[in-house]
Structure 1
């Protein structure tokens, strides 16, 4: 079994947050069941976090958890692109107030185009595509997102409620 790991599960280990214990448990389970991997996207996101001062520090962290860096297949990248396209067409225009639900349009000061919120980027879809096509499961705390765009993906920790 090959288990891919999302950036948020590794950041939980680095920052000892509310997901730290769940992340440790799932990584131990994944290691017992087979290989544990991340994509180069997750590697880049970890390096962008600022926690590591060098590639050797990040590499040592990954080695300590027996995590290998793998590249997504072309099929995984294609599925990622399809998912991102669905997301882009579903994304609403403008902004919505989380309190009252009122929708507003905000225009760019430079070109007057309507601005739309960006909650997920293509990298999130590459992580999901890689886990779906090239792996057997994903450790992530973004369950609702991955269930929506990669419904066949097994996500750990298993949860009946969306985090």
Structure 2
């Protein structure tokens, strides 16, 4: 069965989503490895690049561009428990606090609704209180804690937003 299709590209105001190009996965991974939560968990740029480059028909991976500059990455797994799961959302330093995260959440919610899905899911590391506040501000509710999901010794919080 073919997974539900998210668009290949999307225009989100000042941001554009498109599949990462060759070489961009390494650039993105290097930026991620230096950021929370990956730096705290000791997840290497090599491991992150391998994830971003992996061929996975259930994952929709996008480079985020602002005015043509590589500014972040998002990976959405769909379907996952009656809706998409945002398995990775990261805005690189220097591009944060410009509304990209909010626009990406809106994009995922719009696509989920278009596909007739009723949930949007995301996890945040428990120590990453800024991420938890961001998701809660946008209507996500804590559902469960998942010890050791991403790395041993760390717990993730699973959040759900029910679409109406």
TM-score range, shorter chain: under 0.3
User: If the length of structure 2 is used for normalisation, what is the TM-score?
Assistant: 0.26
User: If the length of structure 1 is used for normalisation, what is the TM-score?
Assistant: 0.27
Normalized per residue, which structure has more helix? 1
Greater Rg by CA: 1
